[in-house]
Amino acid sequence: MPNPSNTPRPNDPPTANHAACTTPGVDPDLWFSDHPTDRTRAKRLCAGCPLLDPCRAYGLDTDQLWGVWGGLDRADRRRILRGVVCGTETALKIHRRYGERCTVCETAHDRRVETRRRQSLAAAHARGGTAASAQLHRKLGEPVCAPCRRAELAAEEARRRARGIPPRDARTGDGRTRGSGTPSVGAHTTAQAA
């Protein structure tokens, strides 16, 4: 938001006096803060500043290391100067380095991760399902298909066997062997008959 008392008339060239960052009551440290929230506030104020374009050009031309210039912080200038556009992994890494959130980059990243997971899942299904692909189903927020679940159970049983643990009981699913802990159907029937 520009300083209302200093807003230039239509044909006046803007000068430093018109800068939104010099508006009384506005903390000038916002433009040089390490905190992303402060920088976002500074950028919003820049958006209404009559000096936006020349200030942005100055920040880019002189490759300013610090501060928000014309609505761009250091990370924004880096991206522009390197020709990095939002939506790429490189742009996302730069955002993360500077503690920024970017919906465009994060959405694009999530889509790429999902595509990779679906490709891995399709390859695992072509092999009849695997324990790892059961996890992929869960990461994708969907139920585990029967072949993947079977592969997962088989892998779990193989691990139990390797450690000398008795096989999981197919009915109780808790690792108890038949006849252990609870009376068998036969013993129960016999006791009732006695």
User: Residue 76 or 152: which CB sits closer to ligand SF4?
Assistant: 76
What lies within 8 Å, CB to CB, of 117 at 6+ separation is 136, 139, 140
| Shorter beta-carbon distance to ligand SF4: residue 19 or 94 | 19
Q: Report in angstroms how near the CB of residue 103 gets to ligand SF4 at its nearest.
A: 23
Give me the residues paired with residue 69 across strands.
72
Longest dimension (CA), the chain: 109
Residue 91 binding result from Zn ion, ligand SF4, none, given CB thresholds of 5 to 8 Å by partner type: Zn ion
Contacting ligand SF4 within 22-81 (CB under 6 A)? 31, 45-46, 49, 51-52, 55, 68-70
Nearest to 128 by CA among 104, 146, 143, 101: 146
Torsion of CA 141, 147, 151, 152, to 10 degrees: 30
Binding site for ligand SF4 (CB under 6 A): 19-21, 31, 45-46, 49, 51-52, 55, 68-70
Known binding residues: 21, 46, 49, 55
